[in-house]
Amino acid sequence: MNRTLDIAPLRSFVAVADAGGFQRAADALHLSQGAVSQHVRRLESAIGRPLVERRGRGFRFTADGEKLLGRARGILALHDEVLQSFGDEAGETIVIGSTEHAAAQLLPYLATILDGAVPRYRVKFRIDRGTKLRESFAAGRIDLALLLGDADDPRATSVGDLSLTWYSAPGWTPPRESEPLPVVAFDNPCALRDRALKTLSHHSIPVAIAAEANQLAGVQAAVSAGLGVALLATLGQTPEGLMARDDLPRPEPLPLAVWTRKGVAPTVSERVSDALRRLLMTPALTEVPPHDFVLARGA
């Protein structure tokens, strides 16, 4: 069996230990909490054993997790020492900005690809709202930005479409036919919010915004609490505690583009764009079973 311990997941694993939690590790690495969690799951898959045990809102490392932690520190130290031995060229940093919508699936994959593909650079990720990312990109604080929307700018390269899926809590039931559909949405402005409302409006489904949140974690928490349904871009990977729904109208996917700041090496931009195209073309991640709109309203 071909098993690999990639540098990016190992760095996340060590950060969880050093920061004392998944969210703190995510903040330190400029990743989403979901991305860090997925990194740890990837290590568990490679090792074949659980590395972390959940304890209520906390966690602890298993014996195998403690064993890997020590080895991971040594691997990372050697990795960074090798890069530093090549001087300043190995220290240049590329900042990649992304919205949260699919960061948990896109960024771990991207980090793994870039770790070996662009060894001259350190890659740092910035997770933020689309409007903030555009501001940071315009100000030169972000080198590459993964943004939803049409690539109608010479700095933007289209890489594919993000399929969208409706989610609810497992025990959630639709309202009566005479009542509006409760929707959990991101704060305005948001491409996902717009697509959700336009899709429902197109099918003449009345809507009530049941909850709003500025971050993905807030949206998922509100949906998990049974406050309503939400439209998310998850690349076919159902978030923990939620269930995909096939009784709501299928929305059109959202285009994803890579925006490149002037002066960034073309090789880096091409690597990012090519990696994202391959990921978005993977059938297992992008296919959504076909269905007709048969929303079953509560009796």
Contact criterion met (CB below 8 Å) for 276 and 146: yes
- The per-residue pLDDT for 288 is 36
d(CA 218, CA 270): 34
User: Between 7 and 109, whose confidence is greater?
Assistant: 7
Helix (H) or strand (E) holding 230: strand 230-232
Segment 280-293 shows an average pLDDT of 46
Lowest mean pLDDT, pick from 53-62, 112-121, 167-176, 282-291? 282-291
d(CA 29, CA 7): 13
Residue 230 has pLDDT above 90, yes or no: yes
Residue 88 has pLDDT above 90, yes or no: no
- The per-residue pLDDT for 177 is 79
For the chain, domain boundaries: 1-85, 165-244
Would you place residue 212 in the very low, low, confident or very high pLDDT band (cuts 50, 70, 90)?
A: very high
**Any idea which architecture 165-244 has in CATH?**
3-Layer(aba) Sandwich (3.40)
Would you place residue 200 in the very low, low, confident or very high pLDDT band (cuts 50, 70, 90)?
A: very high
Would you place residue 117 in the very low, low, confident or very high pLDDT band (cuts 50, 70, 90)?
A: low
User: What share of the chain in percent tops pLDDT 70?
Assistant: 86
d(CA 61, CA 67): 9
d(CA 212, CA 38): 25
Contact criterion met (CB below 8 Å) for 213 and 239: no
Q: Supply the pTM of this predicted model.
A: 0.64
Segment 157-170 shows an average pLDDT of 91
Contact criterion met (CB below 8 Å) for 214 and 196: no
> Mean pLDDT across the chain, nearest whole number?
82
Would you place residue 184 in the very low, low, confident or very high pLDDT band (cuts 50, 70, 90)?
A: very high
- The per-residue pLDDT for 287 is 38
d(CA 229, CA 219): 9
Residue 294 has pLDDT above 90, yes or no: no
- Name, in order, each residue with C-beta under 8 angstroms of 11's C-beta and a sequence gap of 6 or more: 29, 76
Q: Is 165-244 the same fold as 1-85?
A: no
Segment 174-193 shows an average pLDDT of 90
* DSSP code at position 226: T
What's the CATH fold of domain 1-85?
A: Arc Repressor Mutant, subunit A (1.10.10)
Contact criterion met (CB below 8 Å) for 94 and 123: yes
Segment 204-226 shows an average pLDDT of 91
Lowest mean pLDDT, pick from 130-139, 185-194, 225-234? 130-139
Residue 172 has pLDDT above 90, yes or no: yes
Q: pLDDT digits over 7-24, tens only?
A: 888 988 988 888 888 888
- What SS3 class is residue 260? strand
Segment 121-145 shows an average pLDDT of 85
Contact criterion met (CB below 8 Å) for 11 and 18: no
The owner of tokens 């993964």 is 146
d(CA 146, CA 284): 22
Would you place residue 296 in the very low, low, confident or very high pLDDT band (cuts 50, 70, 90)?
A: very low
User: Between 15 and 151, whose confidence is greater?
Assistant: 15
